[in-house]
C-alpha cells in the first residue's frame, strides 16, 4: 500500500507520458484524454485476461517483455463483469455483455453516446489539446461526428467484430472487446501508447508511461489489406510472417498473396506437382525462385490467423500463367511448352480456354487452395489477359467463378472480371487510376462489392519520388501524402460507400528483391492506407496524420524496420532514419 502510494505520488510529479492518447495510427474513432490518469508499467505489472482472450494477452506480454525486461505474467481473470482493475494490472476483458463503460474506471464515466470526444487528428495537431479540450468539450456534439453518427458504444457488443474500448487510469489499463480480434486491436493500441523504445529488442531503462484516458474504437471498413507479390520474386516464409506483423500493428486484417504469375508458381498443388516443382524454379532476373509447401502455406495462414489477419490466396487466371504453362504444356493453346520467363512484361500468356483439361486444372487448383485456406476468400486474378478475346475471356471467367464458388469460397478478382456474370458475394478489386469506370460501377449495381486499390494512390510498387532506387512509375509517383489524401468511400464514380468493402495496398515485386526493400516500400505508406481503411472519415487530416506518423519513425528504427525517410513527414530526429536500400535499378515495364 505504502509503496503504491509512493509510486502514485511519484507519478503525479512525473512529466506527462511522452505519447499522447490521440497519437495512435490509425486514428481511433473516439479519444478522451485524462492527463491526470497516466499509468506507468513497473516490474510488478501483471496481465489478467478473461476466457477467450488468453492468446491476445500472451502476445501483448511478448511485445512488452523484450524492451521493458519486466516479467509481465499472464493470469486468467474470473471476472468478465467490468469489475475494478486492481492496482498495477493490464486487464483484458472479452465479453459480449459486460458494459463497455466499466464504472470502476473514473475516466470512462463521461464517455457515452453524448460524451465529449477528442478526435485523434485534432489532438495530434493541436499539441496542448489534452485535458482542457476533453473537459471543455463536455456535452459537445463531438461524439456523433467522430463516430460517423453512430454515437459511442454503450456495451461491448456495440463494439462489433473488431472494435475495442481502452481505459487508462492511474492504477491500471483495461481493454474490453466483444471478440478476440477487438481485444487484439486494443492491445496494438496499448503498444503504441508506450514510448517508442517499447519496440526495441533488448531491455532499456525508460519510464514506461501510458497516457491516461479512454479510447472507443471501431473500423470504418471490414476489409483492410495489403498484397505481397511472391511470384515475381519469391519471399521465404519468415519474410511473409514479418509482413503479417507489420499489417497487424496497423490493424490491417487481410494479407493477399499473389501466388502465381508468369515468372513463378509459388504454392504446391498435390494433384499438379510440376506447377511448384518446375513452375516455382524461376523468378524475375533469373534468381532461384522457390515455392511454399502446403505445410509452409498452412504455417503462414496460422501465424496470420493468430494476429487476426486473413490470408487471401490469388491464383491468377487466365493470363499471367507462363510458369504453369512451362510446367504443363497441355494447358497452352498450342500444346508446346513456352520458355521459362524471367522478364517483367505482362499480358502475353494464357491457359487454353478451349480445352476441358484447363477447367479440370482450375478445379483441382482452386479446390486444393480452398482446402488449405480457412478464410472466406479466393482471388482469381483475371487481369491483363490481353491475348484472350473479350467473349472468350468472359466465358472462361464465368466458369472459373463457378468453380471457386463450388469450393465454398467467395470470389475475389481484379476489376477486369467486371463484365462477367455475378456470383454470390463477388468482390472486385479496383486498381485503375482515374476513378471513373462505368463497367465496374455496373458490376456493383449487379451485386459486386469493391476493394479499392487505386494504382495512383496505393500501389506500393510505385516510387515515392523520381530518385527512389526501386519501383515503378507507370501510375505516377506516390509519396505519403498522395497515398493518404483520398477517400475510399467516394473514390469511384457511381459506386456508393456501402458497396466498398475496404482498401488494399498491393506490393508488386518486379523490382523488389529483399525483405528490407519490401519494408522500404511499405513504410511509411502502409500506415497511411491502414488509416484510410480503419478511421472514421471525420478524423481525416493530413496535418495531424503526418505528425502522428512521424512519431512512428523511432518505433520502426527500434524494431529494425527499414523505411523511406519521406520529406512529407516531420521525423523527430535524423537518428530515427535508417539507411535505405541503395540499389540502382530498374527499368519500368508496365
* From 384, 439, 517, 531, the catalytic residue: 384
Q: Which of 147, 215, 346, 444 binds ligand TNX (CB under 6 A)?
A: 346
Contact between 215 and 24 (Cβ < 8 Å): yes
Residue 409 in contact with ligand TNX, rule: CB under 6 A:
no
Q: Is 336 strand, coil or helix?
A: coil
What binding mask, one character per residue, do residues 526-545 give for ligand TNX by CB under 6 A, x or -?
A: --------------------
Which of 202, 249, 201, 196 has the alpha carbon at shortest distance from 554? 196
Residue 113 phi/psi, 5° resolution?
Answer: -55, -30
Of the candidates 458, 408, 402, 462, which has an alpha carbon nearest to the alpha carbon of residue 429? 458
* Nearer CB in complex with ligand TNX: 142/454: 454
Give yes or no for residue 571 binding ligand TNX (CB under 6 A): no
Which residues have CB under 8 Å from 79's CB, separation 6+?
50, 93
Q: Is 239 near ligand TNX (CB under 6 A)?
A: no
Provide, rounded to whole angstroms, the least separation between the CB of residue 327 and ligand TNX: 19
Between residue 122 and residue 141, which ones bind ligand TNX under the rule CB under 6 A? none
Residue 256 CB, nearest approach to ligand TNX (Å): 11
For the question of residue 384 being annotated catalytic, the response is yes
Burial of 453 (C-beta count, 10 Å sphere; 0-12/13-18/19+): buried
Cα end-to-end span (Å), the chain: 68
Nearer to ligand TNX, 68 or 416 (CB): 416
CB of 275 to ligand TNX, least distance (A): 19
Taking the CB of residue 205, how many other CB atoms lie within 10 A of it? 8
CB 213 within 8 A of CB 168: yes
- Binders of ligand TNX among residues 79 to 118 (CB under 6 A) are none
Q: Whose Cβ is closer to ligand TNX: residue 111's or residue 470's?
A: 470
DSSP states along 502-545: EEEEEE--SS--SHHHHHHHHTTHHHHHHHHHHS-GGG--HHHH
Neighbouring residues of 379: CB distance < 8 A, sequence distance ≥ 6:
256, 312, 313, 314, 315, 412, 413, 429
Closest CB to ligand TNX among 176 and 428? 428
**Min. distance of Cβ 383 from ligand TNX in angstroms?**
3
Q: Distance from CA of residue 46 to its chain's centroid?
A: 29
Minimum CB distance to ligand TNX smaller for 20 or for 415: 415
Q: Which of residues 428-457 bind ligand TNX (CB under 6 A)?
A: 431
Q: Which is nearer to ligand TNX, 97 or 589 (CB)?
A: 589
590 binds ligand TNX (CB under 6 A): yes
Smaller CB distance to ligand TNX: residue 240 or 428?
428
Size of the site for ligand TNX (CB under 6 A): 11
- Which of 118, 461, 517, 531 is the binder for ligand TNX (CB under 6 A)? 461
383 lies in the binding site for ligand TNX (CB under 6 A): yes
**DSSP conformation letters of 278-331:** TTTS--GGG-----B-HHHHHHHHHHHHHTT-EEEEEEEESBS-HHHHHH-GGG
472 contributes a contact to ligand TNX by CB under 6 A: yes
d(CA 350, CA 341): 13
Nearer to ligand TNX, 358 or 456 (CB): 456
Strands (E) located in 149-259: 164-169, 172-177, 209-210, 213-217, 223-229, 254-258
Shortest approach of ligand TNX to residue 514 CB, angstroms?
18
Cis ω on the peptide bond leading into residue 524 (within 30° of 0)? yes
Rule CB under 6 A: choose which of 184, 396, 508, 545 binds ligand TNX.
508
Taking CB under 6 A as the criterion, the residue among 384, 387, 425, 433 binding ligand TNX is: 384
421 Cβ partners below 8 Å, 6+ apart?
Answer: 398, 401
CB of 367 to ligand TNX, least distance (A): 24
Q: Give the whole-angstrom CA distance, residue 398 versus residue 420.
A: 6
256 binds ligand TNX (CB under 6 A): no
**Minimum distance of ligand TNX from residue 415's CB (angstroms):** 9
Q: Which three cell numbers stand for residue 189?
A: 493500441
For residue 96, the minimal CB distance to ligand TNX (Å) is 40
Binding site residues, ligand TNX, CB under 6 A: 346, 383-384, 414, 431, 459, 461, 472, 508, 510, 590
Active centre residues (catalytic): 384
Amino acid at each position: 500500500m505504502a509503496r503504491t502510494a509512493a509510486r502514485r505520488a511519484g507519478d503525479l510529479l512525473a512529466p506527462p507520458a511522452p505519447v499522447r492518447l490521440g497519437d495512435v495510427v490509425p486514428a481511433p474513432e473516439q479519444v478522451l484524454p485524462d492527463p491526470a490518469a497516466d499509468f506507468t508499467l513497473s516490474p510488478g505489472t501483471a496481465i489478467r485476461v478473461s476466457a477467450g482472450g488468453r492468446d491476445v494477452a500472451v502476445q501483448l506480454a511478448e511485445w512488452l517483455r523484450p524492451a521493458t525486461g519486466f516479467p509481465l505474467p499472464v493470469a486468467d481473470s474470473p471476472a468478465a463483469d467490468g469489475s475494478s482493475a486492481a492496482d498495477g494490472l493490464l486487464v483484458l476483458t472479452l465479453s459480449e455483455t459486460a458494459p463497455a463503460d466499466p464504472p470502476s474506471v473514473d475516466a470512462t464515466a463521461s464517455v457515452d453516446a453524448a460524451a465529449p470526444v477528442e478526435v485523434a487528428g485534432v489532438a495530434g495537431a493541436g499539441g496542448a489539446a489534452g485535458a482542457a479540450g476533453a473537459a471543455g468539450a463536455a456535452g459537445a456534439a463531438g461524439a456523433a461526428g467522430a463516430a460517423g453518427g453512430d454515437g459511442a458504444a454503450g456495451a461491448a457488443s456495440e463494439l462489433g467484430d473488431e472494435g475495442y474500448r481502452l481505459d487508462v487510469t492511474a492504477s491500471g489499463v483495461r481493454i474490453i472487446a466483444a471478440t478476440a480480434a477487438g481485444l487484439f486491436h486494443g492491445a496494438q493500441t496499448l503498444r503504441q501508447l508506450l514510448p517508442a523504445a517499447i519496440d526495441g529488442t533488448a531491455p532499456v531503462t525508460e519510464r514506461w508511461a501510458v497516457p491516461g484516458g479512454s479510447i472507443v474504437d471501431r473500423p470504418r471498413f471490414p476489409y483492410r489489406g495489403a498484397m505481397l507479390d511472391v511470384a515475381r520474386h519469391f519471399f521465404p516464409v519468415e519474410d511473409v510472417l514479418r509482413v503479417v506483423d507489420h499489417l497487424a500493428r496497423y490493424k490491417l486484417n487481410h494479407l493477399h498473396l499473389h501466388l502465381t504469375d508468369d515468372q513463378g508458381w509459388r504454392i504446391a498443388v498435390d494433384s499438379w506437382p510440376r506447377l511448384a516443382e518446375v513452375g516455382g524454379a524461376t523468378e524475375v532476373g533469373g534468381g532461384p525462385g522457390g515455392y511454399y509447401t502446403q505445410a509452409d502455406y498452412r504455417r503462414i495462414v496460422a501465424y496470420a490467423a493468430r494476429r487476426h489477419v486473413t490470408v487471401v490466396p490469388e491464383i491468377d487466371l487466365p493470363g499471367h500463367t507462363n510458369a504453369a504453362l512451362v510446367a504443363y504444356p497441355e494447358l497452352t493453346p498450342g500444346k508446346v511448352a513456352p520458355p521459362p520467363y524471367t522478364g517483367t512484361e505482362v499480358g502475353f500468356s494464357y491457359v487454353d480456354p478451349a480445352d476441358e483439361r484447363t477447367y479440370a486444372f482450375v478445379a483441382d487448383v482452386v479446390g486444393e487452395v480452398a482446402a488449405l485456406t480457412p478464410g472466406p476468400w479466393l482471388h482469381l486474378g483475371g487481369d491483363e489477359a490481353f491475348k484472350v478475346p473479350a467473349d472468350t475471356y468472359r466465358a472462361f471467367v464465368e466458369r472459373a467463378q463457378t468453380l471457386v464458388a463450388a469450393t465454398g469460397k467467395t470470389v475475389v478478382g481484379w476489376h477486369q472480371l467486371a463484365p462477367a456474370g455475378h456470383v454470390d458475394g463477388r468482390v472486385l478489386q479496383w486498381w485503375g487510376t482515374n476513378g471513373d469506370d462505368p463497367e465496374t460501377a455496373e458490376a456493383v449495381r449487379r451485386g459486386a462489392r469493391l476493394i479499392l486499390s487505386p494504382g495512383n494512390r496505393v500501389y506500393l510498387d510505385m516510387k515515392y519520388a523520381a530518385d527512389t532506387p526501386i519501383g515503378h512509375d507507370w501510375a505516377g509517383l506516390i509519396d505519403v501524402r498522395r497515398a493518404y489524401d483520398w477517400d475510399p468511400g467516394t473514390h469511384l464514380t457511381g459506386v456508393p460507400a456501402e458497396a466498398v468493402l475496404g482498401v488494399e495496398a498491393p506490393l508488386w515485386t518486379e523490382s523488389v528483391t529483399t525483405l528490407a526493400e519490401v519494408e522500404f516500400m511499405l513504410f511509411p505508406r502502409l500506415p497511411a492506407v491502414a488509416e484510410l481503411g480503419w478511421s472514421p472519415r471525420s478524423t481525416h487530416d493530413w496535418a495531424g496524420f503526418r505528425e502522428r506518423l512521424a512519431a512512428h519513425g523511432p518505433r520502426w528504427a527500434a524494431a529494425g524496420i527499414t523505411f523511406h525517410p519521406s520529406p512529407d513527414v516531420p521525423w523527430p530526429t535524423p537518428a530515427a532514419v535508417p539507411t535505405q536500400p541503395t540499389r540502382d535499378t530498374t527499368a519500368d515495364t508496365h
